[in-house]
Amino acid sequence: MPTQSLYFVVLHHTGIELPHFDLLFETIPGSDLTTFRVSDWPIDEGTHATRLRDHRRLYLTYSGPIPGQRGYVSRVQQSDCVIELSTSQIVVHLGRSVLRFEQEKDDAWWVRAEHQD
């Protein structure tokens, strides 16, 4: 498993018709943020995730209104992470938890949490 520490953040996006959570993380140091939308956080069981366009790094520390009256974001979790990438899977190691993203089709993914003792 790779050991280089990267950045991870979860944003709660509210003030819009369908509030949700955005999971954003680096895949290499200094990269734009790979971004997934999920309906609930934390993830206890498997759930669908939608892959969004990569986001700017400012969202690692930003909380507040989104320009263009697109709601608000607030940080609910941030941490270091370690990433494993393959063509159809992304594994995000968050300390003693792991998020495993598996691509289903196009931008549709399935994500599940695994907790290590």
pLDDT, tens only, 63-109: 999 999 999 999 999 999 999 999 889 999 998 899 999 999 888 99
> Is residue 1 a part of any domain in this protein?
no
Q: Quick one: residue 64, left, alpha or beta (phi over 0 = left, psi -120 to 50 = alpha)?
A: left
Kindly state whether residue 60 falls inside one of the protein's structural domains: yes
Q: Is residue 43 part of a domain?
A: yes
CA atoms of 26 and 7, how far apart (whole Å): 6
Residue the block writes with tokens 């549709």:
108
34 domain residue, yes or no: yes
Query: Does 48 map to a domain?
Result: yes
Does residue 51 lie within any of the structural domains? yes
Report the number of distinct structural domains present in the chain: 1
In a domain? residue 72 = yes
Domain span at 49: 6-115
For residue range 34-76, list pLDDT tens digits in order.
999 999 999 988 999 999 999 999 999 999 999 999 999 999 9
| 13 is a domain residue | yes
